[in-house]
Amino acid sequence: MNCERPYYKDMHCRPYLFYVIFGVKSGELKVSRERYHVDGFPTGLELMFCNRDNNDAYMQSLIGGHLGKILDCENHALYEKMQRSDQWAVLRGEVQQDSDLRYMQNVIGFIQALLDDGAEGVLDLQTFSLYPAVEWTKKFFGQEFDVYNHVTILASETEDGLMWLHTRGMRKFARPDISVSSVVSDEVDAAVSMINQMIYYGSMGAFFDREVKFHMQGGKAYIVNPHFTGDYENPDFNNAYYHFEWQECLSDTF
């Protein structure tokens, strides 16, 4: 995994990660540095083992309510399996060193070690994504690092018939999520392409604090002036975020 963040700037906030690995088989973890490509456990994270006898209320608080309904709709069988599992590992916290992405490499390795030891699946609480063990391994451990696997783009139609697109998951990289409103239906693909560029550069450490031009396929470019909001309590993001209206973007050619 290439761990460099060539556009990194210290924004004095830190990546926040929150994973639940369910159906674990023991309350300890042994990790081969060579097999799992780890060089240490990231400072600022904690790994806690939970069981139903002692931690049932906490465990249920993580997957109940509105989130539980989302997960149940996403994968009913896997959600039911998670509900029935007696023992979890919870990996969460703020990473203290993020000038490169070694912390993500290490986290992926530690989660994979739990899965290889018999755990049944993984819940990413930043993106509300539920993975069976085999899918996690294939998507995250079995290939080169792909930032787009760690961030999700959500779409919803507003009352005026336009689309609102926004991300979840950029907090893993200590960068704002992205909100784009007033997108007409036939320009959703272009808006997604722009969002993906912002995801990529954000994961590489960039922070957009001025007007920026994004070059798209087909010789088109868009000039955007993202407005930053440092509200970490907004439930749509659980993170700070950029916002702009698609109709305010200036189109250009190159």
pLDDT at 253: 64
Both structure tokens of 142:
């079995």
Both structure tokens of 56:
């049932």
Both structure tokens of 67:
């989130």
* DSSP codes joined into one string, 51-64: EHHHHHHHHHHHHS
pLDDT at 218: 75
pLDDT at 216: 83
pLDDT at 243: 96
pTM of the model: 0.94
CB 84 within 8 A of CB 103: no
pLDDT at 215: 87
Residue the block writes with tokens 């961030």? 151
pLDDT at 254: 54
Q: How far is CA 18 from CA 15, 160, 169, in A?
A: 10, 35, 10
Which stretches in the chain have pLDDT values below 50?
A: none
pLDDT at 113: 97
Q: Specify the DSSP class assigned to residue 110.
A: H
